[in-house]
Chain A
Amino acid sequence: MKLFEHQAKELFKEAGIPIPHGEVVENEADCGRAIDKVGLPCVIKSQVLQGGRGKAGLIQMAVTKEEALLKAHDLMATRKVRKLLFEEAVNKEKEIYMAVTIDPVDCSALIMASSEGGMDIEDIAVRMPDKIIRERVKTFRSLLPFQARNVMFELGLKGEAFKQGVSILLKMFELFKKNDAELVEINPLILTADGKLVAADGKVSIDDNAAFRQKRYPITRDHFGSDIEYEAAVKGIPYLQFDGKIGLMCAGAGLTNTVYDLINYYGGSVASYLEFGGPNYRRAAEAMDFTLRNKPSVVLIVTFGTIARADVMAQGIVDAIERLKPDVPIITAIRGTGEEEAGKILRKIGLEPLSETEDAVKKAVELSKAGVR
């Protein structure tokens, strides 16, 4: 789970990593007070998870209070941003990139740094791979000060900024370990005109698998693109919404990606994807309900389960159809453990169970094109 910038900065502040003075605001009425507190000029930063906030106009500068209030109003009222972070503007001499992440191949924590801060690291990696400084930390070791010094020497930092950089990187590594993070990133880490380092932005991503021991930041509506995605997530059902026509209920990430590809291959489009495998295979009614809410022109159900029993899924689907009475066609390819029984159950209510994924996809694409919606 990605943290919002203000949450990442809360962690930074507690760890002793310098951040600009800032105030988080949830109601437009509180903006004036926040601006007074952080001072002018200020930066107004939308607390959303999408990348490229600057380019999207979701980060604004303001010199006067009137300007700041106007821009905050635009973000909150017009662009429906739920939370803003007001921050004092920092005058920058230089922007640095610094991150701690995971290298799954050699099983180390990977420190990446670059004096070309501000840019997207993926861009730097592709365009200027030699501009990235790398330092690896073996799994059973901690980040040692000499490694942090290596990075700061390569970044060309001097004096107070050098010492500060070493301390910031050591603290980032501690946060990485303590919070089960997949990523702790500061971009940009600003070197100010008076030679100090300040974390102007912060990205922290916490491993979803560690949620049972990392409970500080729960998921919120703001983590999702739509109400249905959020409501499904609260119920523990992975659901993604698109703008196509086929409502897809599928089991397993690999099969889902394949079916998604096949729908595109045959010229169709996806309205939504819902993970129907794993522990969700007994929850057909809820799954069907979520899938129908995005108004697909056809529902396509594809599974090939091992633990998830086909007969249990088929019965659940039949029950859901009888209860929800969907007015769109349902195409099924439900295979795996219990598939013969599943076929019988589906045929009883007039469905025609298919045994090949591609046949089911072709059928669904055809119906989605002929459909009234």
Chain B
Amino acid sequence: MSIFIDSTTRVLVQGITGSEGSFWTKHMLGLGTRVVGGITPGKEGQQVEGVPVFNTVRKAAAETKANASVLFVPPAFTKDAVFETLDAGIGKIVVTAEGVPVHDAMEIRSAALSEKAMVIGGNTSGVITPGTAMMGIFPYWIDRVYRPGRIGVMTRSGSLTNEVTAMLIKAGFGVSTLVGVGGDSVPCTRFAELLPLFEKDNGTDAVLMIGELGGTMEEEVAEAKGTGMFTKPLVAFVAGRTAPKDKKMGHAGAIATAGRGSVTGKIEALEKVGALVADRPSAVGALMKKAVTK
């Protein structure tokens, strides 16, 4: 089992004729993903890896009965593309673009919340259920990272996900579904919003959260776990304990967090509700063993 995507999910690829879009379409198909159509305005009638290309999402959705879409669309056009997809009635969307303007992301998240849709990203590798299907950009052939199993993974980062998940696999675990919420300051889906899905999924025994300094997503997970809505074991790693305060290391950090957002604060909040927090990636495997046998 899995969350968000499985072998029956009917996936569209927006921007399918671009170099990224066509390259990852090949690999999504290679993993077994049911890619049913692609969209590039003006290129209807073409095929990419045997997948038919349409001019509009509306038409693609109508003809293929797609229920999910992954976007390989530049950041400047992402808002337009996401709204086109929402308007076509598709409720599962993955935005891979890095650099979507914050104000655009706010509008996207706002619309998704009110329309009960789930938009993952931007600035993400996407979602993968190893051995089954993926929407996004994952080197699933690296089997020291992408092995099927029963641990749900949620993460803000790309390369760190490979690093930390490899430790999980090394300890003998595998992944049910891995969701990258993305590295932006306004992710369109937040960690805590994934917890009900992992809670309900009978293919997931425990969750690994790969967090980072800045923002309040890790604190929200602690709060949610504290209310009892998430009962499965939770292991976390939070990067950036020693990051210098006055320098922005990559991702946009705290906006109006008012005292929250520090790694120490996140770890305290998580440990208070019974989550096990690793101090280094290499500690993740042992902690997960402890968590699931508890």
B109 within 8 A of A: yes
A180 within 8 A of B: yes
Extra contacts, 15 of them, besides A107-B186, A129-B258, A252-B183 (Cβ < 8 A), are A101-B256, A102-B106, A102-B256, A121-B258, A122-B259, A140-B110, A209-B101, A209-B184, A212-B76, A258-B163, A260-B249, A261-B243, A264-B242, A357-B163, A358-B281
Stretch at the interface among B4-12, B34-42, B210-218, B286-294: B210-218
Q: How far is the CB of B202 from chain A (nearest CB, A)?
A: 29
Chain A residues within 8 Å of B, Cβ to Cβ: 50, 101-105, 107, 110, 112, 121-122, 125-126, 129, 132, 138-140, 177, 180, 182-183, 207-210, 212-213, 238, 240, 242, 251-258, 260-262, 264-265, 273, 275, 277-278, 303-307, 335-337, 339, 356-358
**Closest chain B residue to A205, Cβ basis:** B255
Q: How many residues of B contact A (CB 8 A)?
A: 61
Decide: A258 near B101, CB < 8 A? Known: A103-B256, A139-B107: no
Does B102 contact A180, Cβ atoms closer than 8 Å? yes
B116 within 8 A of A: no
Q: How far is the CB of B163 from chain A (nearest CB, A)?
A: 5
Can you list 29 A-B pairs, Cβ within 8 angstroms, ordered by A? Answer: A104-B187, A104-B190, A105-B220, A121-B258, A138-B110, A139-B106, A177-B103, A180-B103, A182-B102, A207-B103, A208-B252, A209-B100, A210-B103, A238-B250, A251-B159, A252-B159, A253-B183, A253-B249, A254-B156, A254-B157, A254-B158, A254-B159, A254-B160, A254-B161, A254-B183, A262-B280, A265-B279, A307-B20, A336-B139
B99 within 8 A of A: yes
User: A253 to chain B: which residues have CB within 8 Å?
Assistant: 157, 183, 212, 249-251
B229 within 8 A of A: no
Compute how far the CA of A336 lies from the CA of B106 in the bound complex, rounded to whole angstroms: 32
Compute how far the CA of A305 lies from the CA of B159 in the bound complex, rounded to whole angstroms: 6
B239 within 8 A of A: yes
Q: How far is the CB of A12 from chain B (nearest CB, A)?
A: 20
Does A358 contact B101, Cβ atoms closer than 8 Å? no
Compute how far the CA of A110 lies from the CA of B155 in the bound complex, rounded to whole angstroms: 26
| Cβ-defined partner of B239 (8 Å) among A121, A126, A254, A273 | A254
User: B240 to chain A: which residues have CB within 8 Å?
Assistant: 257-258, 260-261
By secondary structure, the A interface counts as: mixed
Q: How far is the CB of B156 from chain A (nearest CB, A)?
A: 6
User: A262 to chain B: which residues have CB within 8 Å?
Assistant: 280
B205 within 8 A of A: no
User: A305 to chain B: which residues have CB within 8 Å?
Assistant: 159, 162
Q: How far is the CB of B141 from chain A (nearest CB, A)?
A: 8
Compute how far the CA of A264 lies from the CA of B162 in the bound complex, rounded to whole angstroms: 22
Compute how far the CA of A186 lies from the CA of B6 in the bound complex, rounded to whole angstroms: 50
